[in-house]
């Protein structure tokens, strides 16, 4: 028995609560979520919800069956780990919550650009519905950031008849995630979009996007997709060790006994890379629950979580999938299709496969995931 409190109301939380009950945890579970909706899935937000083929994307989370006290619209504001007490912004004497074990799954928050002009970001269901209303035919849309969110928004904006400009600081699209060479081989996908690479934004103002060189890109809609960052401010005097995220071991344990962190907020130790890494992917937040639940129930012993990373993106009518993790300097081989556009890529180091990328190659993902860490020739 005991009382488990979970902070955050997203994918990692939904999976964790399910895992606790599957492991026959019979004590109290309280979920504190800043969101006004029960847990939902985020990948559809920039795909089906934005394009209008769906209006929401609820995750399986049956409050009655799971016997959870779900406190929506409530934000954690502080943690007294010594007293095992979570502070929240709830009024009427409900603001402090005592726990026996605590899980932090607060995800991450989009990074914003300077300036007083309106800029939309895309993290929540409400964000997606607000952006969808603005993607009207002829609207001038400037997207800052040519990575996954930027490309998915560009796909939908183009289909909606918007005039789309995408501004990217790096020399090639997706360079931060897959490197400049592979990124460059996606340029053909951006047809119909005014893609401006090697371009720095100074600020977003009411008349549009101001570039560092002084040019102003007029826009009715500005979408900022330049990455996310975990919000750790509320943990400042908690004693929890943090870096860019909350530092956890391969069992998701923080530096404070009884407190785990998982999903986008966690910077998890990985044996694969020999470092603490933020793994901001759906697959991580989904699969990590089993090990996190085990640590909550038995701090001393349990399974480790350190799978080969996996993510996908649906963009420009294609599905891109990536497994593993490459590092600068890895040997790269790229396969192109008949039009010269990216089809596959693989990275290796000293003959060992470190990462694989496929475009519309779902059938090969499982094999590639198994092959990562082994000889690169094994992939055939
Ligand atoms: P989240 O889902 O962000 O949930 C965190 C929750 O914590 C939120 O409900 C938030 O309101 C709440 N919260 C935050 N701070 C507090 C606080 N102080 N107190 C209380 N509650 C708080 N990944 C892929 O692999 N492929 C994709 O195609 C893909 N598409 C995506 C598209 C979009 C638009 C977005 C936003 C993400 C996408 N992702 C994708 C990433 C994936 O959705 C995330 O990795 C995943 O949602 C992380 O889950 P999480 O539970 O850790 O965090």
Residue matched to tokens 């897959």: 178
Instruction: Tell me, yes or no, whether 81 lies in a domain.
Output: yes
Instruction: Tell me, yes or no, whether 311 lies in a domain.
Output: no
366 within 8 A of 327, measured Cβ to Cβ: no
Do 280 and 334 have their domain in common?
no
In 3D space, the residue among 285, 282, 229 whose CA is nearest the CA of residue 252 turns out to be 285
- Identify the domain containing residue 270 by its residue range: 3-108+230-297
- pLDDT tops 80 at residue 168: yes
User: Would you call 231 helix, strand, or coil by DSSP?
Assistant: coil
89 within 8 A of 95, measured Cβ to Cβ: yes
Do 125 and 90 have their domain in common?
no
- ipTM score: 0.99
What pLDDT, on the 0 to 100 scale, is given for residue 228?
Answer: 97
Do 65 and 134 have their domain in common?
no
Do 126 and 101 have their domain in common?
no
What pLDDT, on the 0 to 100 scale, is given for residue 379?
Answer: 86
Q: How many domains does the chain have?
A: 3
What pLDDT, on the 0 to 100 scale, is given for residue 380?
Answer: 76
Do 287 and 270 have their domain in common?
yes
List the CATH number of the domain containing 289: 3.50.50.60
Q: Is ligand 1 within 6 A of the CB of residue 42? A: yes
pLDDT digits (tens, 9 = 90+) for 226-252: 999 999 999 999 999 999 999 999 999
Tokens representing residue 164 in the block? 């789309």
Residue matched to tokens 């504001």: 77
In 3D space, the residue among 95, 99, 117, 321 whose CA is nearest the CA of residue 201 turns out to be 117
Instruction: Tell me, yes or no, whether 305 lies in a domain.
Output: no
Query: Which of 297, 327, 352 corresponds to the end of one domain?
Result: 297
Exposure string over 339-378, b if 16+ CB within 10 A, otherwise e:
eeebbbbbbbeeebbbbbbbbebeebbeebbebbeeebee
Do 147 and 211 have their domain in common?
yes
Nearest CA to ligand 1 atom 15: 106
Query: Which of 242, 266, 297 corresponds to the end of one domain?
Result: 297
The share of the chain scoring above pLDDT 70, in percent, equals 100
- CA–centroid distance, 333 to ligand 1, in Å, is 32
CA angle 45, 228, 51 (to 5 degrees): 15
Instruction: Tell me, yes or no, whether 88 lies in a domain.
Output: yes
Task: In whole angstroms, give the CA distance from residue 304 to residue 380.
Answer: 31
154 within 8 A of 135, measured Cβ to Cβ: no
What pLDDT, on the 0 to 100 scale, is given for residue 339?
Answer: 84
- CA–centroid distance, 49 to ligand 1, in Å, is 15
Instruction: Tell me, yes or no, whether 307 lies in a domain.
Output: no
Nearest CA to ligand 1 atom 31: 43
The share of the chain scoring above pLDDT 90, in percent, equals 96
What pLDDT, on the 0 to 100 scale, is given for residue 240?
Answer: 98
Do 219 and 234 have their domain in common?
no
Tokens representing residue 155 in the block? 């796909």
Do 239 and 176 have their domain in common?
no
Q: Would you give the DSSP letter of residue 40?
A: B
Do 286 and 342 have their domain in common?
no
Do 236 and 103 have their domain in common?
yes
Mean pLDDT confidence for 260-282: 95
Do 214 and 237 have their domain in common?
no
- pLDDT tops 80 at residue 140: yes
pLDDT digits (tens, 9 = 90+) for 25-64: 999 999 999 999 999 999 999 999 999 999 999 999 999 9
Task: In whole angstroms, give the CA distance from residue 213 to residue 204.
Answer: 14
Task: In whole angstroms, give the CA distance from residue 284 to residue 366.
Answer: 16
Residue matched to tokens 């082994």: 374
Tokens representing residue 37 in the block? 């909706």
What pLDDT, on the 0 to 100 scale, is given for residue 72?
Answer: 97
Task: In whole angstroms, give the CA distance from residue 61 to residue 44.
Answer: 17
Of the pLDDT bands very low, low, confident and very high (cuts 50, 70, 90), residue 213 is: very high
Residue 16 host element (H or E): helix 11-22
Q: Is the dihedral of CA 36, 39, 42, 43 positive or negative?
A: negative
What pLDDT, on the 0 to 100 scale, is given for residue 203?
Answer: 98
pLDDT digits (tens, 9 = 90+) for 251-260: 999 999 999 9
Do 210 and 236 have their domain in common?
no
Across the chain, mean pLDDT equals 97
pLDDT digits (tens, 9 = 90+) for 338-350: 888 899 999 999 9
Instruction: Tell me, yes or no, whether 310 lies in a domain.
Output: no
- CA–centroid distance, 291 to ligand 1, in Å, is 19
Which ligand 1 atom sits nearest the alpha carbon of residue 262?
52
Residues facing 352 on adjacent strands: 349, 375
Instruction: Tell me, yes or no, whether 213 lies in a domain.
Output: yes
Residues facing 246 on adjacent strands: 242, 266
Task: In whole angstroms, give the CA distance from residue 157 to residue 86.
Answer: 42
Tokens representing residue 176 in the block? 């931060």
Phi, psi of 281 (to 5 degrees): -125, 155
Instruction: Tell me, yes or no, whether 303 lies in a domain.
Output: no
Exposure string over 101-133, b if 16+ CB within 10 A, otherwise e:
bbbbbbbbebeebebebebbbbbbbebbeebbe
Q: Is ligand 1 within 6 A of the CB of residue 44? A: no
Query: Which of 297, 326, 350 corresponds to the end of one domain?
Result: 297
- CA–centroid distance, 266 to ligand 1, in Å, is 12
Task: In whole angstroms, give the CA distance from residue 110 to residue 278.
Answer: 15
User: Would you call 329 helix, strand, or coil by DSSP?
Assistant: coil
């Amino acid at each position: 028995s005991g009382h488990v409190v979970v902070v955050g109301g997203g994918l990692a939380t939904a999976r964790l609560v399910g895992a606790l009950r599957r492991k026959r945890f019979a004590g109290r579970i309280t979920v504190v979520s800043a969101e006004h909706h029960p847990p939902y899935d985020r990948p559809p937000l920039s795909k089906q919800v934005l394009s209008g083929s769906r209006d929401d994307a609820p995750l399986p989370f049956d409050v009655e069956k799971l016997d959870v006290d779900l406190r929506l619209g409530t934000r954690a504001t502080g943690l007294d780990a010594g007293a095992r007490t979570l502070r929240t912004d709830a009024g009427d004497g409900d603001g402090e919550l005592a726990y026996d074990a605590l899980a932090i799954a607060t995800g991450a928050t989009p990074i914003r650009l300077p300036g007083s002009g309106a800029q939309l970001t895309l993290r929540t269901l409400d964000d997606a519905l607000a952006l969808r209303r603005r993607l009207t035919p002829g609207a001038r849309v400037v997207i800052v950031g040519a990575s996954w969110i930027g490309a998915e928004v560009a796909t939908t904006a183009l289909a909606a008849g918007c005039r789309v400009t995408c501004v990217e600081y790096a020399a090639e699209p997706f360079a931060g995630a897959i490197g400049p060479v592979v990124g460059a081989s996606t340029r053909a996908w951006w047809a119909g979009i005014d893609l401006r690479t090697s371009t720095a934004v100074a600020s977003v103002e009411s008349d549009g996007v101001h570039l560092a060189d002084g040019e102003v890109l007029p826009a009715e809609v500005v979408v900022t997709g330049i990455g996310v960052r975990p919000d750790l401010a509320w943990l400042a005097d908690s004693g929890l060790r943090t870096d860019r995220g909350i530092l956890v071991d391969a069992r998701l344990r923080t530096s404070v006994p009884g407190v785990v962190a998982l999903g986008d907020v966690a910077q998890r130790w990985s044996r694969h890379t020999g470092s603490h890494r933020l793994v901001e992917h759906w697959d991580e937040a989904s699969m990590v629950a089993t090990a996190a639940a085990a640590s909550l129930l038995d701090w001393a012993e349990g399974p480790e979580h350190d799978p080969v990373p996996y993510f996908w993106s649906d963009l420009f009518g294609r599905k891109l999938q990536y497994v593993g993790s490459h590092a600068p300097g890895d040997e790269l081989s790229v396969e192109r299709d008949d039009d010269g556009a990216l089809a596959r890529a693989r990275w290796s180091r000293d003959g060992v496969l470190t990462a694989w990328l496929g475009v519309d190659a779902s059938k090969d993902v499982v094999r590639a995931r198994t092959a990562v860490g082994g000889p690169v020739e094994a992939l055939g």
